[in-house]
Amino acid sequence: MIFRFLIRRLGLMALILLCVSFIVFISVRLIPGDPAQIMLGERATQEALERLREQLGLNKPFLVQYFGYLSRIFTQGSLGDSIVTNNPVLVEVAQKFPATIELAFASMLIAAFVGISTGIVAAVYRNTWIDNLTMIGALTGVSMPIFWLGLLLMMVFSAQLGWVPLSGRLSIISELQPITGFYLLDSLLAGDLYSFADALHHLILPAITLATVPTAIIARMTRASMLDVLEQDYVKTAKAKGVSRLSVILHHALRNAAIPITTITGLQLGLLLSGAVLTETIYAWNGLGSYVVNAVNARDFPVIQGCVLIFAFTFVLINLLVDMSYFGLDPRIREKGV
């Protein structure tokens, strides 16, 4: 059952990624500006421009370019070379992605802990001032623009109070030599506790900023799921048997409300990994989000296409893992194999 489900989902993933590659390939060519003109400058001659377009394959028909792009992916495992740096896109992505992953997972840890805890409290104290206050906070978190919140937090906690660094991932005086690209992990591997504390210090504000929206969404979903489960007969029976309130909430209610909470948490993690562009730009976080912004400004087609494909692959992979977790969370799904 599980094997058939996995094969079906992998086939669907391949189809989704193929569609994404086609849409992105069309979209990036609708961006105003000529990459050859940008690379050579406004004073470049027409002959030089044509020569560069031919070298980059930009003068070929659209479908020829697209199928050539797919052929390189399947036969060479290559996403092409950057027009600006002339380096392989996969190499540059491998250098930038760890920063985005580190930021996204830190944000999700905050969002999951605060969101689930807040949602449980709101459900337990339904229709009280605690419930109203938490839901107002959740609504505020969803409605608040990330770029505005990021600038506000920087102004208050960095510029005025000086509690946290203004931007970047490490201080200039740090001597950490990156190994994996995950600075927290690299500092521990090197036994450099100063760099670990410094990297953690730099991570706090961007992680809180990025966690705001997912925290609010997870809190609302947790509250709704818990309210539905708390009304079920088996929960009332457990209460009637004298089971402690904490045990009823954690072992009976929360376990049975886990599937929708897991779903929304997985979706939010996928969005964080693929949508940290604003946060990375605001905090000068040298990750994949800021890398894509620079590529769009430079009309670097291979980088834009490659990064969007990486984002799409990450998102569908996380969704697959979330779906697979259902087999462990609910035995009924494991038996049906749906």
**208-221 residue pLDDT tens:** 888 888 888 888 88
Of residues 200 and 176, more confidence is placed in 200
Query: Which one, of 219, 238, 218, lies nearest residue 123 by Cα?
Result: 219
* 316 pLDDT higher than 80: yes
In this structure, the answer to whether residues 226 and 112 fall within a common structural domain is yes
- Is 220 inside any structural domain? yes
Domains in the chain: how many in total?
2
Q: Please compute the mean of the pLDDT values over residues 288-317 and round it to a whole number.
A: 84
In this structure, the answer to whether residues 62 and 182 fall within a common structural domain is no
Of residues 337 and 33, more confidence is placed in 33
- Which residue type does 187 have? S
Q: How far is CA 52 from CA 41, 209, 311, in A?
A: 12, 42, 29
User: In the block, which residue shows the tokens 């003068």?
Assistant: 59
In this structure, the answer to whether residues 39 and 176 fall within a common structural domain is no
- Is 270 inside any structural domain? yes
- Is 83 inside any structural domain? no
In this structure, the answer to whether residues 46 and 126 fall within a common structural domain is no
In this structure, the answer to whether residues 158 and 218 fall within a common structural domain is yes
* 337 pLDDT higher than 60: no
Give the pLDDT of residue 55.
67
Q: List, in order, residues 6 or more apart from 283 with CB less than 8 Å away.
A: 150, 154, 167, 168, 205, 206, 209
Q: Please compute the mean of the pLDDT values over residues 59-73 and round it to a whole number.
A: 77
Q: Please compute the mean of the pLDDT values over residues 79-96 and round it to a whole number.
A: 83
The percentage of residues in the chain with a pLDDT greater than 70, rounded to a whole number, is 89
Domain with 25, as residue range(s), is 2-76
pLDDT bucket at 34, cuts 50 / 70 / 90: low
Q: Please compute the mean of the pLDDT values over residues 303-311 and round it to a whole number.
A: 86
pLDDT in tens, 142-175: 777 887 888 888 888 888 887 888 888 888 777 7
| CATH number, domain containing residue 313 | 1.10.3720.10
Question: Which of 76, 106, 128 lies at the terminal end of a domain, its last residue?
Answer: 76
* 338 pLDDT higher than 60: no
- Is 82 inside any structural domain? no
In this structure, the answer to whether residues 28 and 113 fall within a common structural domain is no
